[in-house]
Structure 1
Amino acid sequence: METGFPLNRADALHRLKSFLPQAGSAYARLRNRDEGPGGHRHVSRLSASLRRRLVSEEEVVRAVLGHHDLASAEKFVSEVFWRSYWKGWLEQRPSMWQGYRTALSRARARLDDKPELKARHEMAVQGRTGIDYFDACITELAETGYLHNWSRMQIASIWIFTLNLPWELGADLFFERLLDADPASNTLSWRWVAGLHTVGKAYLADPERIRAMTDGRFAPKGLARSAVIPADSISTPPPSGIRERRSPDRAAPTLLLVTTEDLSMEEIPALRALPVRAIACVDGKNRWDGAPLADGMERARQAWPGARDLGALDPAGVFEAAAEAGCTQVTSTFIPAGPVADALLPRLQEPKSHGIVFTEHLRDWDRRTWPHCRKGFFALKEKIPGIVEGGRA
């Protein structure tokens, strides 16, 4: 059965098929309207599936362009590419993720040192600010794990500029609660609202716009009328290339490692061709990851029925499990910056004396898209037609 925000591949594909007629001009016209819990009918509701690649960006874009031309579906296709943009931008500046984690620790420490700041933060987290729209959205996020994308921008803006709270704490709240929490999209979107991603260009919530986009349900009062951009807590380095990785050896006995960064590995021809002797997973780092990970593992078992099912492994024990299964390589899809990479890469990238190596497959979509994510989004946007056509070749 389809859920409102699908967390398995079958439901995600059904949701995608159901949404296709709306992905053209209707989406462009209505996408910013927020009708509240249970009323998110103008957006695809595929974000939680895309975040874990229960369905891939390429699958979604290909399906949409099977029903609409690129001109009429431009808004929806661009939203999919925004996800790839954030991921590619952060992947070429991975120190930004660690910088955010360090800045978050400092922001948390300030709460203990400043009782007034701590009280304001607690009121915001609990949805007790007295700003009707803000409090309703925080309650919806807590109860459902979801918030309309347009409303996320408004809440981030109110958090930063009206409530004068550190953006890092707001990003952390979203990351903890969201069904579709993504390290790149979440962190960098908060920085964009704050005026730190595109330097000096902040996003200021407007009460009349909020009234219009919520059909008059809310009339927030006391919102900031100017944006005082916070001091940047993170040093932004120039972009580098995508980090080096070892590609899978097509002949090597393989332990396939399933993570919540990509849960449709069986759909990748290069991986289907590997001699997979064992399948394992590592636990997700989000409270909503259990069902999607179980679904991904079940499909992996079906795709490689002769492989041993090793279940969930501790990252420190992956190589030992591979050796016991007679494998000489551990293979995953590329693991981007975030909590999963933090847990896995320090262990899997260490040289191993028993000859087992860690390899990663980079999807063609990322290979085509990420090189154009070094600057602003519009440097990528102008390449969208070519990237889409490249996937059809």
Structure 2
Amino acid sequence: MGNFRNPETDLHQTADLAVESFLENGIANYTKMRNFDFGRGKHRAVSQLSLYISHGVINEFDLVKRVLDRYSIELVEKYIQELFWRVYWKGWLEHRHSVYRDLAHDQTASNIGYARAITGQTGIECFDDWVDELKSDNYLHNHSRMWFASIWIFTLKLPWQLGAKFFQEHLYDGDPASNTLSWRWVAGLQTQGKNYLARSTNIQKFTQGRYGDTSLNESAASLVERGGYEIETPLFPEKNNPNNKKLLVFDNQLSINSEFIIKGDYEEILVLVLDNNNRLIQVDDKVINFKRKLAESFCNHVKSSILIDPKLLGAYLSGSEEIDVLYPTVGDNLYFINNLAQGEGFTTNFLVRKLDRFCWNFAKKGFFSFKKNIPSIIDKLYLAN
């Protein structure tokens, strides 16, 4: 399988080819081999599609259907579950959006240990190598992300919030829900009292002995959170339909097959990639450039679409009473447009996919409660097509 993390211009076609390559050459062995990290540039055991999924270039539901059109659920169940983990994380955060707001505004101070960690100078060989890979390639294997987070929290004893921000800063596939809640899960906050501990023998096994005996804290207790988070009223409307001539699309909703774009009658589709001046959590310049390339690819496919500078959006919409917006889900994009609308005096008509809305109803509790509903979600997916 080729490396699809250095695409050129038509990134939507590149993403589609990457899906086909994985379905033909990788998915059959996914369950058996997915936990192995063979090293930098050798992530052949996993799909490497997350950077496209996180930006909406590949839609989770479309991908589920493409997989099940070709393979039996028994053969690909683990991969289907991993896709639904992404859907679940988003739904959970929609019902507890304060979690991301608190992370973004967290003022946890850094120290010399933090400086050593983010420069790969901890003396823990595997961790330092992953720092270099993360910053150079803007990617890490999922198993290594779990080991990394565990070492960060329990061995290096650094705040999980700083680690989550570090990942969000550098990952091409950085997603507010998946990233934030995965870090909380490792810390033992998401499933309270059940943390994930990286073990030297486990790292040695699944890196095929690249890393030998590593001294780690393998008996740490879960972190404890004061108060916790109650279910909140979602920030999206109960019902929605296209209602305007202008549509706003953020960099995480870049599907050229969006039902709203296909069925809508828009005179203008404004595509927005936030710069760091408008983000709650700063990201690396390479990440912003990658997002812009994806947005440019979208504009090349979708008529009447233009990439607009965030600094000009307020003036551009001045005088508008309402604009349709593909709902960007909880994260920097949502907080940006809500603040801008309030400041400029226009309203947003958020458009939410029906399948998202349906799935998010099951995401108020733990994943295993959500998992029970996956068969009915798949049934609804096929009925929708």
User: One fold, TM greater than 0.5?
Assistant: yes
Amino acid of the structure 2 residue aligned with 1:290: N
Question: 1:256 aligns to what?
Answer: 247
Q: Hey, what's the Cα distance between the residues in 2 that align with 1:124 and 1:69?
A: 43
Aligned length: 370
Q: Deviations over 1:66-105 (max 9, x none)?
A: 12111211110111111111111011001111122233x1
Q: Hey, what's the Cα distance between the residues in 2 that align with 1:134 and 1:380?
A: 33
- The yes-or-no answer on 1:197 pairing with 2:190 is yes
Q: Hey, what's the Cα distance between the residues in 2 that align with 1:301 and 1:331?
A: 21
- The yes-or-no answer on 1:91 pairing with 2:94 is yes
CA apart distance, 1:256: 1.7
- The yes-or-no answer on 1:341 pairing with 2:320 is no
Q: Hey, what's the Cα distance between the residues in 1 that align with 2:248 and 2:235?
A: 19
- The yes-or-no answer on 1:239 pairing with 2:231 is yes
Question: 1:14 aligns to what?
Answer: 17
Q: Hey, what's the Cα distance between the residues in 2 that align with 1:89 and 1:248?
A: 21
Instruction: Report which stretch shifted further, 39-48 or 331-340.
Output: 331-340
- The yes-or-no answer on 1:156 pairing with 2:176 is no
| Structure 2 unpaired stretches of 5+ | none
Cα root mean square deviation, aligned: 2.3
Q: Hey, what's the Cα distance between the residues in 2 that align with 1:141 and 1:202?
A: 23
CA apart distance, 1:173: 1.0
Q: Deviations over 1:266-314 (max 9, x none)?
A: 412333222211122222354424344444345346433xx3x553143
Amino acid of the structure 2 residue aligned with 1:221: T
CA apart distance, 1:144: 0.6
Question: 2:350 aligns to what?
Answer: 360
Question: 2:42 aligns to what?
Answer: 39
Change (3 A) 1:338 1:47: same
Equivalent of 1:276 in 266, 279, 284: 266
Question: 2:295 aligns to what?
Answer: 296
Secondary structure of the 1:360 match is: strand
Assess if the C-alpha contact under 8 Å between 1:50 and 1:57 holds in 2: yes
CA apart distance, 1:333: 1.3
Instruction: Report which stretch shifted further, 94-103 or 210-219.
Output: 94-103
Show the 5 A alignment for 1:51-66: 51-66=54-69
Change (3 A) 1:357 1:345: closer
Q: Hey, what's the Cα distance between the residues in 2 that align with 1:23 and 1:373?
A: 29
Q: Hey, what's the Cα distance between the residues in 1 that align with 2:197 and 2:184?
A: 13
Secondary structure of the 2:75 match is: coil
Equivalent of 1:378 in 355, 362, 368: 368
| Structure 1 unpaired stretches of 5+ | 112-117
Secondary structure of the 2:267 match is: strand
Q: Hey, what's the Cα distance between the residues in 1 that align with 2:353 and 2:241?
A: 16
Equivalent of 2:214 in 189, 209, 221: 221
Change (3 A) 1:205 1:310: closer
Equivalent of 1:230 in 215, 223, 227: 223
Q: Hey, what's the Cα distance between the residues in 1 that align with 2:74 and 2:217?
A: 37
CA apart distance, 1:6: 6.3
Secondary structure of the 2:87 match is: helix
Show the 5 A alignment for 1:170-181: 170-181=163-174
Amino acid of the structure 2 residue aligned with 1:4: F
Assess if the C-alpha contact under 8 Å between 2:273 and 2:295 holds in 1: no
Question: 2:80 aligns to what?
Answer: 77
Assess if the C-alpha contact under 8 Å between 1:6 and 1:48 holds in 2: no
**Structure 2 length-normalised TM:** 0.89
Question: 1:321 aligns to what?
Answer: 316
Q: Hey, what's the Cα distance between the residues in 2 that align with 1:302 and 1:148?
A: 31
Change (3 A) 1:102 1:298: closer
Change (3 A) 1:138 1:302: closer
Assess if the C-alpha contact under 8 Å between 1:140 and 1:146 holds in 2: yes
Q: Hey, what's the Cα distance between the residues in 2 that align with 1:136 and 1:43?
A: 20
Amino acid of the structure 1 residue aligned with 2:237: R
